[in-house]
Structure 1
C-alpha cells in the first residue's frame, strides 16, 4: 500500500459554496482519504496516496486560485 502524504494548499474561497466545490472535487479522487477545509484561513489540507500534482489539478478544475504550501 502506498504511503499517505499530507498536502496543504492556499485556495481562494469566498463562501461555503466555494469550499463545498473544492471538497466535492477532492473527495471524488481515488486515493484521497481525508480533506480538511478552513474557509477562514483559506487552507485546504488533504491526506492522500496520490501525487500532490494530481490533488493540485483537481483543485484547479474548480476554478479557484490555488497555491501549494
Structure 2
C-alpha cells in the first residue's frame, strides 16, 4: 500500500474528528492525523483523487503533498 501525505486545514479536535469519521467510512485505509502540523497520512491502494475528494467532504482546504 502507498502512504500519501495531505495537508488539511484542521484547527481543532472537531476537525480531526470529522476527518476520522470520513476515512473510517471509506474502509480499507489506514491513517494517522497530526493535528498540530495539520497533516494526514493515508495508507491505501485507492487513487489519490478518491482520497482527496473524500477529505474535501470535510469542508476543509486540502493539499496533496505526495507519497511518503
Q: Same fold (TM over 0.5)?
A: yes
Q: Name the structure 2 match of 1:49.
A: 45
- Moved runs in structure 1, 4+ residues, more than 6 A? none
TM-score (norm 2): 0.90
CA distance in 1 between counterparts of 2:27 and 2:12 reads 26
Q: State TM-score, norm by structure 1.
A: 0.89
CA RMSD of aligned residues (A): 0.8
Structure 2: give runs of 5+ residues left out of the alignment.
Answer: none
Structure 1 residues not aligned, in runs of 5+: none
Q: Does the 8 A contact of 1:13 with 1:42 survive in 2?
A: yes
Paired residues, number: 65
